[in-house]
Every structure is written in C-alpha cells, then in structure tokens.
Amino acid sequence: MRAQALKMVVAVVVGLALGVSPALADNKRVMSISAARVVAERNLVESVYGLKLRANESVEDMVAANFSEATESKTSAMISGIKYDNEQYDKDKDIAKVVASLALPSITNVDGTLVDLKGKTFRRIGFGTATPASAGPLKALRAAELDAYKQLMKRLVGFTLESQTSVENFMLKSDVIKTKVMATLFMSQLVDFGWDESGDAWMKLALNLKDLSEILGQKLAEPGGEVVEVTGYGAQAGEAAPPPTFPASARETAVGEPKR
C-alpha cells in the first residue's frame, strides 16, 4: 500500500513538473475541438453563404522582396442546422480537426440573392488549438485559403491593374505595379489542402460553374472548362511549428447529393 501511494505521489509530481495534469489535458482537448468547430462553421458559411473580399498587391522595381500583399475578408450570416462529424484530436500537438456539414433547401446569400441549394450537403474542415505555439500551421492554412479566394475572384471577376514606370538616361529608375480586387464569392468548394516540410500551407479551391449555373438559373461560362480551380499559398510567421498529420479524404470535402 505504501509503495502504491508513493507511485501515485511521484506521478502527480512528474505531471506538475511537466505542467500538464489529466484534467488540464482534457480541458485543452475540449477547447481545441470547440475552436475547430467554430472555424469549420466559418469555413462552411463562407462556402455556402459567401464572403466579401478585398485584396491589394504591389511589386516595386521587379524585385520579389519588394512584393507586398494584403487581403481582408468579411462574412456575417444566421445559419442553423450545422452538423459535426469525424472529430479528431492530436494530443501531442494539441490540434483538433472537425468536419462541419450543412444541408439546406435554400439560402439568401451574401449578395441578397435567394439561392436554391437543391438539398445538397456541403462540407468544410476546421482546425483548432488551445496552444498558441501550435497555431502557426493553422494560421498558414487560413492565409492560403484567403489567397485561393483571391485567385478565384481574379479569375472570375477580374481585377484592376495600375502601373507606373520611370526611365531616365535609358535606365529604369522606378517601376511600380499595383493590382486590386474587391468582390463577393459564394459556392466555392474545398478540393485539397496540405503543408510542406517547412509548415507553410497550400489549399485548392474550386467553383463548379455548371452546378452554379443550375442553382442561379443563368448561364455561366469560363474558357477552359466547367470547373475553375486555383491554389492558394500561406506562410507561417516567426518560428515554424510542425503541421497536423490528420488524413483527409474526398468524403470530407466533397459536396454531397440531396437526400432522397
């Protein structure tokens, strides 16, 4: 009995020394899963309801180091009926993953248009953590997502380009290129995502113009095919943290057919 009690005391002391207790570890798991749910909800609302995005890019004197880019997004909607499944938790990295799904007959989107969703099920993935040191790759993935939204908008809506070049004595003195895009986007689909060895992220988004044409009741055309697909990129800030290793499947990201 005395030896067993001693083992318990040693276990508690070791746990306190490491700064982790069973109760705290479980609390971090719950917090991370809750955060992942909220992120998945946001991603789902942006896909189905839509978002407004404004982006500015500039390059000075042809130098990549002088490239600057800023992208902002905004969305706000009241949506109910979101379900969650495939919740996973990596306790070593304190990162949770959740898949949110939504099936609605119709919705009034970000542009105020009543859209017949035809009962299809939409899905999006969200990641969350209760540990700031683990958030780097998750932030990079969000940056990649916004970059992909920007690329989609530039393809579909177009963008404004301003250029000013100065040459003196046959030599380039200055060259400034600026692009701007501001538009709304909805019904985008997540195709794939991931991280490279450094922890920087990439994400592929697509817009199925055929499906969108059926939903809107008007013909949409894009040179090169019925599906517009782009890849966005995002980088970690500061010291890089390792990305999560949860497997992704087509079922998690695909738009499902209506229930019969």
pLDDT value for 144 = 94
Q: Is the pLDDT of residue 57 over 70?
A: yes
Query: For the chain, what percent of residues have pLDDT higher than 90?
Result: 44
pLDDT value for 253 = 67
Q: Is the pLDDT of residue 221 over 80?
A: no
User: From CA 234, how far away is CA 205, in angstroms rounded?
Assistant: 14
Average pLDDT, the chain: 82
User: From CA 226, how far away is CA 68, in angstroms rounded?
Assistant: 32
pLDDT in tens, 173-200: 898 889 998 888 888 899 999 999 888 9
Sign of CA dihedral 216, 220, 225, 231: negative
pLDDT level of residue 67 (50, 70, 90 thresholds): confident
pLDDT value for 249 = 58
- pTM of the predicted model as reported, rounded to 2 decimal places: 0.81
Mean pLDDT to the nearest integer, 21-33: 78
Q: Report the Cα 144 to chain-centroid distance in Å.
A: 7
Amino acid code (one letter) for 140: A
Strands (E), 8-149: 51-60, 68-74, 83-90, 95-103, 106-108, 114-116, 121-129
Q: Is the pLDDT of residue 78 over 50?
A: yes
User: From CA 149, how far away is CA 188, in angstroms rounded?
Assistant: 8
Give the up-direction half-sphere exposure of residue 219: CA atoms within 13 A in the CB hemisphere: 1
pLDDT in tens, 5-20: 434 333 333 333 444 4
Choice between 16 and 222, residue whose per-residue pLDDT is larger: 222
User: From CA 260, how far away is CA 245, in angstroms rounded?
Assistant: 35
Pairing of strands 51-60, 68-74: antiparallel
Mean pLDDT to the nearest integer, 45-71: 88
pLDDT in tens, 102-154: 998 999 999 898 888 888 899 999 999 999 999 999 999 999 999 999 999 99
pLDDT level of residue 24 (50, 70, 90 thresholds): low
Tokens of 189: 């689909």
Sign of CA dihedral 73, 74, 80, 84: positive
Q: Is the pLDDT of residue 237 over 70?
A: yes
Q: H helices within 125-167, ranges in order?
A: 136-156
User: From CA 128, how far away is CA 30, in angstroms rounded?
Assistant: 10
Q: Is the pLDDT of residue 21 over 80?
A: no
Q: Give the burial string for 108-137 (b: 16+ CB within 10 Å, else e).
A: ebbeeeebebeebbbbbbbbbbbeeebbbb
Tokens of 147: 């970059």
Tell me the range of 35-49, 205-219, 235-249 where mean pLDDT is highest: 35-49
